[in-house]
Amino acid sequence: MSYPTVSEIVEGSPASIAGLSVGDELISICGVLPSDVIEYQQLVDESDIDLTVRRGGLEWEVTIEKAPGAPLGLRLDSSIFDRVQTCDNHCEFCFIYQLPPGMRKTLYLKDDDYRLSFLYGNFTTLTRFTELDLARVVDEKLGPLYVSIHSTDPGVRSAMLRNIRGATSLRWLRALLDHGVEVHGQIVLCPTLNGGDVFERTLAEIVARYPDMQSVGIVPLGLSRFNQESQLRVHSREEAAAAIEATTYWQGIALVELGRRMFFASDELYLQAEIAVPPSDEYEGFPQHENGIGMARSFYDELRDLEKGAGGGDPTPTGRFHDLAAAPAEGYRAPRVTSVPTGSAGDEGPVAILTGEYGAAVLEPVLDRLEVLTGRSLRLLTVKNRFFGGNVAVTGLMVGEDIKAVLAGDSLPVSSYLLPDVALSGDRFLDEMSIGDVAGVATAPLLAVPNSVAGLVAGARR
């Protein structure tokens, strides 16, 4: 058990006035050591807060008076203070098993914790879920939650998870829904494991057995060059198209039976199948935008809106961490670099947009429209992901090593380089290379910009 540790203090807040500082440990709050930031928030929502604080090995008591529900004015360095519920599945398609050695330890952590599902939209298989967990979720109304389904066939699901509890753990999904908890699901589609007829049966059984689920995202298997599972392979173009066809068919069934489409195929499947993404109304509010479902369409919608002079913007981030003042923005939600070391001054060439292979496929058809909007000449600089290899082609998994190699080999005229900040956590890429290291080889300023049309436009105009 660790103690909640202060990582940020809001100047002039009750916490600041009481003398709390960054690095302070909160030993107890109103006599309780909370297990997570959810319980912490409930405790500090009271009017008078009694804290036991430790700093430099010394402890003292402090009482903070404030209005009920008013924020204390601090942020914590972690969202879970007891032990994170780790995943005891051994899914052969799990991307963590396909990571190269030597990366930072947090990337190898497999969680199956419903609290992280609530806070950050992480998907849980429910194989470690318990009656006590259900009671807390229901009592504290911890929703929405995000559940990995993969297959409704007990044998197939158990085999995919390599865990006998995978055959029965969807009973918790039914229990959550019976208690009115909002749940969104996911199917990682593997051609050799749960595709074809198994996939169709899964969609049919979800409509029949779990009609109160809010959405189900279908995402294709991702394979890196470090994959050790011989039976895994990526979708062919025809298989991706067949998966989209099945998803569209069952969307229609769900629309008739339930009044909503429920099922949504990921952008990757459309790109693999070389099929245009659907119009925005077919995404029904983009409930799984951060799962790579509807990102291309929302980008095109934002472009259209900005062309008309209207404001644009992405859907609300997944997870409830943004509703809890003390919760840190972890992982890819962590604050990104706001000032970037620039390379040498560029010439009068075009602005170059660094992007992954999938990003290039989305941007290329509208590059001329982006040029009109920015008033600048643009070109795409596609970064092939050699670090992970396989079929990894999303912009968010670009690493410094690959970007640096592309920049070093770029000899065309350029005035500046734009890097979508989705590839960064703070100022670091997944391979731990800093953006400063990458910028050092650029022949023009390198700017990290928000992964949106507005971000690209603002960056191109700088």
Mean pLDDT score, 270-298 = 95
For 148-198, the pLDDT digits (tens) are 999 999 999 999 999 999 999 999 999 999 999 999 999 999 999 999 999
Q: What is the pLDDT of residues 217-260, one digit of tens each?
A: 999 999 999 999 989 999 999 999 999 999 999 999 999 999 99
**Averaged pLDDT, 76-88:** 92
Structural tokens at position 452: 């949106």
Q: Which residues contact 302 (CB under 8 A, 6 or more apart)?
A: 312, 313, 314, 452, 453, 454
Q: pLDDT tier at 341 (50, 70, 90 boundaries)?
A: low
Task: Establish whether the linkage from the previous residue to 341 is cis, with ω within 30° of 0.
Answer: no
For the segment 442-448, the average pLDDT, to the nearest whole number, is 93
pLDDT of residue 323: 87
Q: What is the pLDDT of residue 367?
A: 97
Return the percentage of the chain with pLDDT > 70, whole number: 96
pLDDT of 314 reads 62
Q: What is the pLDDT of residue 157?
A: 97
Structure tokens at 379: 């070109």
* Crossing angle between the packed helical segments 295-307 and 367-374, to the nearest 10 degrees: 40
CA quadruple 180, 181, 184, 190: dihedral sign:
negative
Residue 394 pLDDT > 70: yes
- Our CA dihedral for 343, 348, 349, 352, rounded to 10 degrees, sits at 40
Report the alpha-carbon distance of residue 95 to residue 296 in Å, rounded: 23
How far apart CA 54 and CA 71 sit, in angstroms, is 21
Residue 118's pLDDT band (boundaries 50, 70, 90)?
very high
pLDDT at 30: 92
Report which secondary-structure segment, H or E, holds 352: strand 351-355
Q: How many whole angstroms separate alpha carbon 373 and alpha carbon 459?
A: 12
- Quick: pLDDT tens for 12-68: 999 999 999 999 999 999 999 999 999 999 999 988 899 999 999 899 999 998 889
